[in-house]
Amino acid sequence: MPNGYRGKILRVNISTGKIWIETPEESDKNFYRRYWGGSCLGAYYLLKEIEPGIDALSPGNVLVFAASVVTGAPAPGVVKYAVIAKSPLTGGTGEALAEGYWGPELKFSGFDAIVIQGKAERPVYISIRDGQAEIKDASKLWGMDTGETTRVIRTELGDPETKVACIGPAGENLVRYASVVSDGMYMNARTGMGAVMGSKNLKAVAVRGSGSIDVADSSRIQLLADRFERHFQENFVNKAVYDAGTASFLGFLNNAGLTSSRNMQTTHFEGAAKVSGEHIHEAYFDKRVPCYSCPAACRRVLKNVEELDVDPAYGAPELEVMMALGNGCDIDDLGVLIKASELCTRYGLDYTSTGVTIAFAMECFENGVLTKKDTGGMDLTFGNASVILDLIEQIAQRRGVGALLAEGTKRAAEKLGKGAETYAMHVKGLELPLHDPRTKAMLGLSYALSPTGPDDLAVEHDTDFDANAPELFMERVATLGIWERRAATELSPEKVRMLCYLQQVFSFMDSLCLCKYAFAPCRYYSFAEMVDLISAITGWEVSLWELQKVGERRLNMQRVFNLREGLSPEQDKLPERVYAPIDSGPNKGVAMSKQEVEEAKQAYFRMRDWDPLSGWPSSEKLVELDLGWLVQMKSDANRG
């Protein structure tokens, strides 16, 4: 048995009911060390098994659930899993990662990943237990929310410890930004992976295993885990999250003018103080929730929320939902935001896309593009908290104006016409996160260039390396070759170099399914400890250089997939609003410059050895990354 991974991929064709197991190392002994897991492994199956040009919501899409070679080891931060498919929002690579317990349990059940093809005739779920998989009828689960689905499956399987990743009504109704929710709390939020599940009539994947992960050096792992447990709160970011959750960053971000508000018309949010993470903590905090083998306990459960009609089992609101529905829609009613967070988790809706799409609708309404006739009489003025919960319900059920908004901002704007595109804050069809790109230029550039669409977790943020950043962060990134502080709004060739290196870090972390709240550059574990831990789990003599190459490999694979699907460099395009100066607050007057963004994009392509016009990686680059098999795909695509 290898160390860290199981060596088995479960294959399921839900059209035919065929289930089989593949052992990739039998034909390629370097398979796991080349692709590692998570989103890199997912990119491999997308490239190999999806016919070019298929509709993301057709049976031809391939859906991958992937842990990594280190997931489930008895150490902090190695808990994530990725869901990967062609995205119904972008038409390119879709992926979403979540923490919790599902990823480790998949490994304990005997598999590193599940690859699902086809479409079931009627609703089904897949149950996996100790190396055995079964397709089960889910007709009675169809229509249930994510919490109820989890409870019913556990009862049906007779095991309350079963881990369940499922969709709610949003996924069933093919809302393009529907998410996957595991154990009623942890969300694979972005790029519409829940809609892909819904399109396959796949309600859930339940996993249970009694196995454990073999590791190369358990005492070394124990030492690193003990050190984390004793000291992680010495890292102020980890401590802030432990004390008051990710929503505790809201106050700082708002005071510093770093958060897009009112559909990115400003970075000022009048009601910020009323909906801070500290407020939630003081009024409603019940208990912390750890992830598997991780004491950082970033998630939390609330109490006294019955008066808000909130089921506490869905967990406390995270930063994304507070920003997207609070700042984005100008909602300062804390009760409504807590309930809205619960509804998104209950129905399986990406928090960010939901909030940004509602903010889009509000701006359309204020400019007469949407009227009360379209909204069924609802007043969609910014700040009107009374419509938010109804709107979320309508989106999840594709009812009323919700049917339009379920398409996401890009498609809704195309349907509406009348200049609605001006109000659609998306790149490639995926809604922009609320960390304002004008105030963090490297992050903003990554919004344009990320192969999975704009993602605030695609690169560490500029403000972590500017003049005010902690010395610790600069010490950490020195090992990558980043030595100089740079202004958050700077977009120079040196900043592009910084993007390349830091993007590769986050890219390999998504391939190894490492939690970005546990590892470098800005959390407790340093790069040296990360490498040490991975080596201790796998028994491989791993280096940071090797991991950076994994990150670069994933980015190239995803770029090739996108190009093959017709996403050209022209679609690496930010919304026009980023070029308008911020109107008030600490960043008043700040805007991105179109010329600088274009030059930075060109520099990025050249640094990556990608053709600046076509976007294709050079054949030499593909071979250098041991992706020689993509050279033929490149010539086929360019011939076609």
Query: Which span sits near ligand SF4 by CB under 6 A: 287-295, 311-319, 568-576, 578-586?
Result: 287-295
Number of residues that bind ligand SF4 (CB under 6 A): 13
Give yes or no for a contact between 79 and 554, defined as CB atoms under 8 angstroms apart: no
Two tokens, residue 584: 């008030």
Two tokens, residue 46: 């997308």
The residue within the footprint of ligand SF4, chosen from 175, 258, 291, 391 (CB under 6 A), is 291
Residues 87-106 that bind ligand SF4 (CB under 6 A): 99
- Which spans in 378-525 are helix H? 388-397, 402-405, 408-416, 441-449, 471-478, 493-511
In the complex with ligand SF4, the residue whose CB is nearer, 4 or 402, is 4
Single-letter amino acid code for the residue at 406: A
Give yes or no for a contact between 83 and 65, defined as CB atoms under 8 angstroms apart: yes
Coil, strand or helix at 136: strand
In the complex with ligand SF4, the residue whose CB is nearer, 232 or 360, is 232
C-alpha closest to that of 74 among 239, 232, 226: 226
Residue 296 interacts with ligand SF4 (CB under 6 A): yes or no: yes
In the complex with ligand SF4, the residue whose CB is nearer, 230 or 372, is 230
Beta carbon of residue 210, minimum distance to ligand SF4 (angstroms, whole number): 22
521 upstream amide cis, omega within 30 of 0: yes
In the complex with ligand SF4, the residue whose CB is nearer, 62 or 291, is 291
Q: How far apart are CA 445 and CA 423, in angstroms?
A: 20
The residue within the footprint of ligand SF4, chosen from 74, 131, 271, 290 (CB under 6 A), is 290
In the complex with ligand SF4, the residue whose CB is nearer, 57 or 291, is 291
DSSP, res 75: S
Residue 454 interacts with ligand SF4 (CB under 6 A): yes or no: no
Beta carbon of residue 77, minimum distance to ligand SF4 (angstroms, whole number): 5
The residue within the footprint of ligand SF4, chosen from 9, 298, 325, 358 (CB under 6 A), is 298
In the complex with ligand SF4, the residue whose CB is nearer, 36 or 232, is 232
Beta carbon of residue 281, minimum distance to ligand SF4 (angstroms, whole number): 16
- Which secondary structure element, helix H or strand E, spans residue 206, and what is its range? strand 202-208
Residue 79 interacts with ligand SF4 (CB under 6 A): yes or no: yes
Beta carbon of residue 245, minimum distance to ligand SF4 (angstroms, whole number): 10
In the complex with ligand SF4, the residue whose CB is nearer, 476 or 553, is 476
Give yes or no for a contact between 201 and 141, defined as CB atoms under 8 angstroms apart: no
Residue 143 interacts with ligand SF4 (CB under 6 A): yes or no: no
Query: Which span sits near ligand SF4 by CB under 6 A: 292-300, 382-390, 450-458, 503-511?
Result: 292-300
Beta carbon of residue 533, minimum distance to ligand SF4 (angstroms, whole number): 13
Residue 118 interacts with ligand SF4 (CB under 6 A): yes or no: no
Two tokens, residue 17: 């009911």
In the complex with ligand SF4, the residue whose CB is nearer, 290 or 470, is 290
Beta carbon of residue 75, minimum distance to ligand SF4 (angstroms, whole number): 10
Query: Which span sits near ligand SF4 by CB under 6 A: 6-14, 72-80, 130-138, 434-442?
Result: 72-80
Residues 489-528 that bind ligand SF4 (CB under 6 A): 515, 517-518
Beta carbon of residue 183, minimum distance to ligand SF4 (angstroms, whole number): 13
Beta carbon of residue 501, minimum distance to ligand SF4 (angstroms, whole number): 23
Beta carbon of residue 519, minimum distance to ligand SF4 (angstroms, whole number): 9
Distances in Å between the Cα of 217 and the Cα atoms of 165, 512, 535, 538, 546 are 31, 18, 8, 8, 20
C-alpha closest to that of 506 among 449, 427, 564: 449
With the CA atoms of 362, 365, 370 and 375 taken in that order, what torsion angle do they form, in degrees rounded to the nearest 10? 70
The residue written with tokens 């929730």 in the block is: 289
In the complex with ligand SF4, the residue whose CB is nearer, 76 or 312, is 76
Contacts of 599 by beta carbon, 8 Å cutoff, 6+ apart: none
Give yes or no for a contact between 135 and 12, defined as CB atoms under 8 angstroms apart: yes
Q: How far apart are CA 502 and CA 522, in angstroms?
A: 11
Give yes or no for a contact between 479 and 523, defined as CB atoms under 8 angstroms apart: no
Residues 531-590 that bind ligand SF4 (CB under 6 A): none
Beta carbon of residue 225, minimum distance to ligand SF4 (angstroms, whole number): 11
What's the farthest any 2 CA atoms get from each other in the chain? 66
C-alpha closest to that of 433 among 425, 424, 441: 425
Beta carbon of residue 475, minimum distance to ligand SF4 (angstroms, whole number): 21
Two tokens, residue 260: 């897009």
Beta carbon of residue 456, minimum distance to ligand SF4 (angstroms, whole number): 15
Q: How far apart are CA 312 and CA 323, in angstroms?
A: 20
Query: Residue numbers of the site for ligand SF4 (CB under 6 A)?
Result: 76-77, 79, 99, 290-291, 294, 296-298, 515, 517-518
